[in-house]
Amino acid sequence: MNNIDLNGQIAIITGGAQGLGLAFTKRLLQSGAKVCIWDINQEQLTKTKAALGEGVGAVQVDISDPDSVANAYRQTQELCGDASILINSAGISGPNQPLDEYPIDEWRKIIDINLNGTFYVNRAVVPAMKKNNYGRIVNVASVAGKEGNPNASAYSASKAAVIGLTKSLGKELANFDIAVNCITPAAARTPIFDQMKQEHIDYMLGKIPRGRFLEVDEAANMVAWLVSAENSFTTASVFDLSGGRATY
């Protein structure tokens, strides 16, 4: 494992209590950052904080609610100070159904969390980064946002929108020392699998040329560099973690 220096950095990681978010949390802690994890699941949040020990803050937040996000950032500033790193990892997959049968309430829920939530969190954190003329942001999209998975129209659309949001914000902040990038991982075995049908999981695996799912630590290794000061030029970009699946 490469030694990425994040000493003195303060990170917010949404969805940081489990799955990819937890892997990011552990990697950033190993690199010297102080981390505040945001999660909607209070029970999981408490367990994760207890397991990780010192150097970790924990704030319960519903990222689909802008007032909850604003309050969470105020709490984070009190606990840790201004965030210099933001990783937007919280998200849901939703049901696997054809578009013409897709439940409208589920569509709205997925867009509210995956897209609107990413917008609300970026909107809350960016002002302090601009004030401090420094920041590193990684938004977690998906290879589904590039290619579109069948029977996952809401998820695919939400992640495609996260890619567009990232590119737009990266250009807006290009005159500051703030890098805004996103990653497009293929599927990893995380709790999000619990929301999917087995046939959809098999479909995703069959599309990956490496013939296996992404390991969460592999994603964390890429993200650790993206949020470091060494990433001093690249912004508004998409970093592929699809095991060869992505066609562009």
Looking at residue 41, its pLDDT comes to: 95
pLDDT of residue 210: 84
At residue 18, does pLDDT exceed 90?
A: yes
- At residue 139, what is the residue type? N
pLDDT for res 195:
61
Does residue 193 carry a pLDDT above 90?
Answer: no
Confidence of residue 214 (pLDDT cuts 50, 70, 90): confident
Give the chain as a DSSP string.
Answer: ------TT-EEEEETTTSHHHHHHHHHHHHTT-EEEEEES-HHHHHHHHHHH-TTEEEEE--TTSHHHHHHHHHHHHHHT-S-SEEEE----------GGG--HHHHHHHIIIIIIHHHHHHHHHHHHHHHHT-EEEEEE--THHHH--TT-HHHHHHHHHHHHHHHHHHHHTTTTTEEEEEEEE--BSSGGGGGS-HHHHHHHHHT-TTSSPBPHHHHHHHHHHHTSTT--S--SEEEEESTT----
Report the first-to-last Cα separation within the chain, whole angstroms: 28
Over pLDDT 90: what percentage of the chain? 82
Residue boundaries of the structural domains of the chain: 10-239
155 included as an active-site residue = yes
Q: What confidence score (pLDDT) does residue 207 get?
A: 78
Fold of 10-239: Rossmann fold (3.40.50)
Q: Which range among 131-135, 150-154, 196-200 shows the weakest confidence by mean pLDDT?
A: 196-200
Q: Over the chain, what is the mean pLDDT?
A: 93
Choose the catalytic residue: 73, 102, 120, 155: 155
| Averaged pLDDT for residues 93-108 | 96
For residue 12, the model assigns a pLDDT of 98
Token digits for 162? Answer: 């996260």
Task: Classify each residue of 127-144 as buried b or exposed e, where b means 16 or more C-beta atoms within 10 Å of its C-beta.
Answer: ebbeeeebbbbbbbbbbb
State the pLDDT confidence band at 2, using cuts at 50, 70 and 90.
Answer: confident
Q: What is the pTM of this model?
A: 0.93
